[in-house]
Structures are given as structure tokens and as C-alpha cells.
Amino acid sequence: MQSKDGIDMNNFKIGVVGAGSWGTALANLLASKGFAIDLWVFEKEVINQIVEFGENQYFLPDIKLSSNLKPHHDLAEVVSGKDLLLVVVPSHVMRETTLIMTSHVSKEAIIATASKGIENKTHLTMTGVLKETLPQIPAEHLAVISGPSFAREVAQNLPTVVTAASKSLEIATLVQQVLATPYFRVYTSADVMGVELGGSLKNVIAIAAGVIDGLHLGLNTRAALITRGMTEIRRLGVKLGANPRTFTGLAGYGDLILTCTGDLSRNHTVGKKIGEGQNVKDILGEMRMVAEGVKTAKSVYNLSRELGVDMPISHEMYRILYEDLDPKEAVYRLMTRDLKQELDEE
């Protein structure tokens, strides 16, 4: 059987690594499209849930999963012999997970990551990590998927639009065609760095937006926070060679607005609880799913200082998360900085 894009769905082999809410939603999208999907699941309880109930009750409850989706605990079994691997694990375990994959992945495979984050120690994006852990894969075979896309809404077949980026237009187009459905539209991009940074850094700003809402500071404040937050994201992106136009698109403003305002945003939820006076460690201890912005805040703080990039909102978020700065004090510090013109010279 072939899709309307000419892909042989019977012989094109796909594995999805990571069965959190986003990994499960993407795996189910592909399975519902007709592909036979092998899904690597870390938690054996989740495998049992999928097999017995046809649901991932931990991370994507009340969503019935396609019978074309098969869960596995053996990572080697999932990644061996695949044409496309979609890696959707939390950013802080990307390195250790993909190192296990190294000896099992074909050098002809296409690796697409939908994980969003910047590694703490190396300050590498996820494709940067993959280049080190899967050295047999050409850089042109790496791709990134990002954009405004809450997993639950994708799983409910609500219209969603994202970007697939790769240095190779051929690879970006293939990923686009594999993923696209009437309710999941995919655009292509050549700006891998910009798409990755937009998807990662927006999580830090989303925590800040949540803090604003938790403090009941109003819609004016939140709108300003989102706008100036994007200024910071663009600054770092330009410094690292990204196309500034990327940040006006789906992986930029699109994802930022969603994550800063949507009730399904884990990062916004964390920030809101902080603004309401809860302790960061207690908040994170109660969460089963990962709020990527917490770890990314540390990476952004250190990387921006190393590169000399002005990112005041991100720096205040780091101090709230890691130095116990009072959120009200952080807002005061931001509002009383030296006055300046709005637009950067670059």
C-alpha cells in the first residue's frame, strides 16, 4: 500500500523512541495513517496499559491508540532496521538513550527529533547531541519537528500545524510527507538551529508567563513578557547562526504563544504555581511529565553569559528556579532596568 505521497507504507519502517504524551501522540498519528509503528516505552506499566487497554493511561489518558502501534521495552528491537526513527525522549536523557541506540541504527536511517531542550553540560541542541551519539548518521539525515502542538490536541485530531527542518530539503520533505494528515499540516525549513532554539527557549519564557499569571499581574504584563521574551530568543538565535525570520514562524512565535497561554502547557503550569507561592521542588516532585523549561533555563543562563547575549527575562527565571529569588523581586528588577530603545540594532 502506498500513501498519496508515494511512500510504500508496508515497507517503510518507522520506530518511535519515547512514549511520553508527545511521543505517544506522534506514534499514534503515524499508526492511524497506516504505518506499522514500533514504540519504545521505558515504563513497563505503560506497555501493559497499551496492550491491555489500548491507552497510555499515564501520559495520554482517554485516547484510544491504533492497533498498528506496538509497544516494546527493548530499545534495540525498536530501532534496528528502521528507515525513520522519531526520537521523542526528554532532552536530559537524549544522550544516554541514543548512545544505547548507536550500534543498532542503520547508517542510512533518517533520525527526526521532536524533543525540545538544550543539554546542560554541553549547551548542545538535540541534533548536536545526536551528531555525537550517532556519528554514523550524516548530518543531512537529521531532522527536527517543532511548532505549536499540544500532544492531547494532536491525539484528538484537532487541526495542528508544525515545521520539519533539515539541512537536506529532500529529508525535510520526506518527514513532511510521512507525518502530514488532513489534521496535521507540516511545513519544511532548512533552519535547523532556529527551529530547535525556538522550540527549546520558549519553554523558559512560558514558565515566566506562568509566574506572571500566578502573581495576577494582568494581560498587559503577559503580552509584554511574551514579546520581550521573543526578543531574547531571537538574539541568541542570531548569535548561533539561525535565520531571524524563523522566529516569526511556527517554531517561533507560534509555539511561544501557545506555550505561554495554553492551559495544557506544563511549563506555564509550573510558573503559575511558582507565582502562587509554591516551592519549585514540591511542584516538580508532583509532576509525572517533564517541564523542559526548568532544565533549559540553566543551559540558557550559562550559554547566554558565555556568548555575551543579553537575556534578562531568562536570567531572572534562572534565579527564581535555582537561586530562590522571589518572583515579585524578579518582576521589579526587570521593570526597573535601564531604559533603552526597543529594537536591537541587528
> Are residues 185 and 249 located together in one domain of the fold?
no
The answer to whether residue 5 sits within a structural domain is no
**117 lies in the same domain as 182:** yes
- Select from 159, 190, 221 the last residue of a domain: 190
CATH number of the domain bearing residue 103:
3.40.50.720
Instruction: Give the whole-angstrom CA distance, residue 128 versus residue 239.
Output: 16
> Are 203 and 103 in the same domain?
no
Same domain assignment for residues 319 and 211: yes
Expressed as residue numbers, the domain containing 318 is: 194-335
- Strand ordering across the sheet containing 84-87: 69-72, 37-40, 14-17, 84-87, 110-113, 142-146, 160-165, 184-189
**Amino acid at the residue 118:** I
Using the 3D structure, point to which of 190, 212, 235 is the last residue of a domain: 190
Whether pLDDT at 313 is above 80: yes
Residue 315 has pLDDT above 80, yes or no: yes
pLDDT tens-place string over residues 67-79 = 999 999 999 999 9
Nearest to 313, CA basis, from 150, 195, 203: 203
State residue 9 phi and psi, 5-degree precision. -70, -20
Is residue 25 within 8 Å of 56, Cβ to Cβ? no
Helix segments in 6-89, DSSP class H: 21-33, 44-53, 75-79
- 181 and 45 inside one domain: yes
Distance CA 38, CA 55 (A): 15
Q: Look at residue 135 and tell me if it is in a domain.
A: yes
If asked whether residues 121 and 207 sit together in one domain, one would say no
pLDDT at 284: 84
The number of domains in the chain is 2
pLDDT at 162 over 60: yes
Same domain membership, residue 181 and residue 33: yes
- The separation between the first and the last C-alpha atoms of the chain, rounded to the nearest angstrom, is 51
Q: Are residues 168 and 210 located together in one domain of the fold? A: no
Neighbours of 107 (CB within 10 A): 10
Average pLDDT across the chain, whole number: 95
- Residues 111-155: pLDDT tens digits? 999 999 999 999 999 999 999 999 999 999 999 999 999 999 999
Give residue 285's pLDDT.
Answer: 84
pLDDT band at 3 (very low <50, low <70, confident <90, very high): low
Beta bridge mates, 188: 164
Whether pLDDT at 345 is above 90: no
Is residue 233 a part of any domain in this protein?
Answer: yes
| pLDDT at 1 (0 to 100) | 46
**Which residues carry out catalysis?**
202
Q: Give the mean model confidence (pLDDT) for residues 229-258.
A: 98
Per-residue pLDDT of 14-58, as tens digits, reads 999 999 999 999 999 999 999 999 999 999 999 999 999 999 999
Domain match, 184 and 274 both: no
Choose the weakest-confidence range: 93-107, 142-156, 274-288. Answer: 274-288
Pinpoint the alpha helices (H) of the chain. Answer: 21-33, 44-53, 75-79, 94-101, 126-133, 151-155, 169-179, 192-214, 219-239, 255-261, 266-275, 280-285, 292-307, 312-322, 327-335
CATH number of the domain encompassing residue 288:
1.10.1040.10
Nearest CA among 48, 52, 46 for reference residue 23: 46
Instruction: Tell me the per-residue pLDDT of 176-206, one tens digit each, with 9 for 90 and over.
Output: 999 999 999 999 999 999 999 999 999 999 9
164 and 76 co-located in one domain: yes
pLDDT higher than 70, residue 233: yes
Question: Does residue 342 lie within any of the structural domains?
Answer: no
